[in-house]
A = this chain, B = another copy of it.
Amino acid sequence: MSSKAVTRADAGLASTLRVAVLRLRRRLVNEHAPDNDLSIGSMAVLGALAKGGEATIGELAAHERVQPPSMTRIVGCLADGGYVERRASDTDRRQVIVAITEKGRATLEADKRRREEWLARRLAALTPQERAILRAAAPVLEKLATSE
């Protein structure tokens, strides 16, 4: 296979992958439990805090790939609901340290299964081989999403 052929094959892969990701994301958003008052983005921030510990607004914005004002808003909503707490950094009082609360952690755990119910059900309907493929693909997708 020539280098040009590889490039062409990857262009096709990019196309397919792109469409699949966009459609799947739309399904995930649509199936998002409506009795959950936290948006998908907010839950992602809670997840990041639960996994990585405290973080500044800037760090969260970079991690979630949104602009700082967007993260200010998300964290504001989370703080209003008591899911996170904000405090000024000791070393640099411009920085705002965000930490997940017990309520946030409990909400994250409680909602985790429910929020993923739709996807888990769809995964259960796949063949074991298809699930194995996705298990292998998930970290690669994550790598793509966070590259550079």
Contact = CB atoms under 8 A, between A and B. Distances in A.
B17 A119 contact: yes
Interface in A106-148: 112-113, 115-116, 119-120, 122-126, 130-131, 133-148
Nearest to A148: B122
A117 to B, nearest CB: 8
Contacts of A88: none
Contact of A10 (B24, B112, B123): B123
B144 A10 contact: no
A142 B20 contact: yes
B13 A21 contact: no
Contacts of A116: 11, 14-15, 18
Interface residues of A, number: 56
A70 to B, nearest CB: 11
A72 to B, nearest CB: 17
A131 B13 CA distance: 9
A87 interface: no
A26 interface: yes
20 contacts: A15-B112, A16-B142, A17-B119, A17-B134, A18-B119, A20-B139, A20-B141, A21-B141, A23-B64, A23-B142, A23-B145, A23-B146, A119-B144, A122-B148, A125-B147, A133-B133, A133-B137, A134-B141, A136-B136, A137-B141
